[in-house]
């Protein structure tokens, strides 16, 4: 680049060339040069949370008299702009960077300092003006916790509610749609399609409850521990003031860590959250697999339900339509389960007073939250809401299943019932036909009315 396109910035290591229009300064540029690894910057939600911390910190310092009011106002306004996402392009540092997130923390300090300088008309220092009195080591992990809590509360939980409501509507719609149950992928006693969808809804609601229960753990912040957990340079009460401000501004259950040494060096709450997200993915895998099995066909599969036709399914087989949203949900689930493995490995990297895999923990955790939220909504709106049931086919399956002989165990005994089932299957007859052939009605073991009542497949679904 020509000299006109660059400017010279200085830090404790000397001079470095920075793009003239960039809001960042020397330390950010060094990180850009040092980490050309994935081409993927850290999540915008994390930058926004980091900026929110710095805005609240500036306000708290002004109230305590530790920072001039005009400087604090300029910093707070600049940080708020960053928190609103107006300067996302100024945060290009790769996610695979220094493990504490110091590079991205300094990126935020420098961008906010530049913006504050422009507002104030005099220089604002990235460290003395924006970063003080906290450290990268307590601000960056706090920002991860805030971004994760906000993602769960404001995005994922509402999305799971959309999914749950869609499943509950289908539960009601299919309440009397009787079908063959299946265990081990083999015929079992009847259920209703509504009961199956009610089970899926309960799975979603249970994992949503686990996420809500875990939010206070995620909301416990290490802010105030400073460099190693001792709180060096942080005035007493400052962290609590900043956290209370953030809790009110963001409407999140944020609290100060009860033990800063544990909070500084471990990311157990984030690992716990990631594990719950993995459980969401496991539930989604079961639901998506069941639905694509039931929709398989149209002639060589189960074909119990019809999924909405969304797009052509083959470049060579005309007319083929695939369960694409089920497949998308399964792929999201696979990614989230893989992300959890990365988070678990990263969370185990707390060595003495600091975990040094913070950016990769954040990258995987926040991606999982976003992926699960997005697929929940699209799966509900574009797949579930349009599902139709083939009630006649399902009833034929249920009535022809040898497993319905289970209802006769008490009248005929297990061994005779098993023999009837095998004969019916071998000879292609119904259970009713075989029972009559064997003379169980003629010899008075049960009447035809009792036989018909016992073999009522819909009644079997009620216990």
Active-site residue set: 184, 314
CA distance 209 to 227: 35
3-state DSSP assignment of residue 305: strand
Q: Give the tokens for residue 165.
A: 């409501």
Give the dihedral sign, CA 327/333/337/340. Answer: positive
Which residues are CB-contacts of 285 (< 8 A; sequence separation ≥ 6)?
Answer: 329, 330, 333
Report whether the peptide linkage leading into residue 82 is cis, meaning its omega lies within 30 degrees of zero.
no
CA distance 20 to 252: 38
3-state DSSP assignment of residue 309: coil
Give the ranges where 189-347 is alpha helix by DSSP (H): 193-218, 238-250, 260-265, 268-294, 324-347
DSSP state of 301: S
How many CA within 13 A on the CB side of residue 460? 27
Q: Give the tokens for residue 134.
A: 């906290």
CA distance 424 to 160: 44
């Amino acid at each position: 680049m020509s000299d006109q396109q660059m400017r010279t910035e200085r830090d404790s290591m000397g001079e470095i060339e920075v793009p003239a229009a960039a809001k960042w300064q020397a330390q950010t540029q060094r990180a850009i040069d040092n980490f050309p690894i994935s081409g993927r910057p850290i999540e915008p939600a994390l930058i926004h949370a980091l900026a929110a911390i710095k805005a609240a910190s500036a306000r708290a310092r002004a109230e305590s008299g530790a920072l001039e009011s005009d400087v604090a106002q300029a910093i707070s306004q600049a940080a708020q702009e960053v928190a609103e996402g107006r300067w996302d392009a100024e945060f290009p540092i790769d996610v695979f960077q220094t493990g504490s997130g110091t590079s991205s923390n300094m990126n935020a300090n420098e961008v906010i300092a530049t913006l504050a300088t422009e507002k104030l008309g005099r220089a604002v220092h990235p460290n003395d003006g924006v970063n003080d009195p906290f450290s990268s080591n307590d601000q960056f992990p706090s920002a991860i916790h805030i971004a994760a809590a906000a993602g769960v509360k404001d995005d994922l939980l509402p999305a799971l509610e959309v999914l749950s409501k869609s499943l509950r509507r289908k539960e009601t719609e299919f309440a009397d749609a009787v079908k063959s149950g299946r265990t081990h992928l083999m015929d079992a006693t009847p259920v209703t399609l509504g009961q199956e969808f009610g089970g899926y809804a309960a799975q979603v609601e249970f994992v949503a409850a686990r996420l809500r229960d875990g939010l206070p753990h995620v909301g416990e912040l290490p802010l105030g521990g400073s460099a190693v957990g001792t709180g060096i340079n942080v005035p007493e009460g400052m962290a609590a003031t900043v956290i209370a401000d953030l809790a009110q501004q963001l409407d999140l259950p944020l609290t100060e860590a009860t033990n800063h040494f544990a909070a500084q060096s471990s990311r157990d709450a984030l690992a716990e959250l990631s594990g719950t997200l993995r459980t969401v993915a496991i539930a989604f895998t079961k639901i998506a697999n069941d639905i694509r099995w039931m929709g398989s066909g149209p002639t060589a599969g189960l074909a119990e339900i019809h999924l909405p036709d969304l797009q052509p399914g083959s470049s060579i087989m005309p007319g083929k339509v695939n369960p694409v949203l089920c497949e998308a949900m399964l792929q999201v689930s696979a990614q989230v389960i893989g992300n959890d493995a990365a988070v678990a490995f990263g969370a185990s990297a707390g060595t003495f007073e600091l975990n040094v895999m913070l950016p990769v923990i954040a990258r995987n955790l926040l991606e999982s939250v976003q992926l699960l939220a997005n697929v929940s909504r699209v799966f509900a709106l574009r797949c579930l809401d349009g599902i139709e049931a083939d009630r006649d086919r399902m009833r034929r399956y249920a009535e022809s299943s040898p497993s319905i002989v289970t209802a006769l165990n008490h009248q005929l005994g297990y061994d005779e019932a098993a023999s009837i089932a095998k004969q019916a299957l071998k000879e292609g007859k119904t259970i009713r036909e075989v029972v009559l052939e064997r003379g169980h009605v003629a010899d008075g073991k049960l009447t035809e009315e009792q036989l018909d009542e016992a073999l009522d497949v819909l009644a079997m679904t009620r216990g």
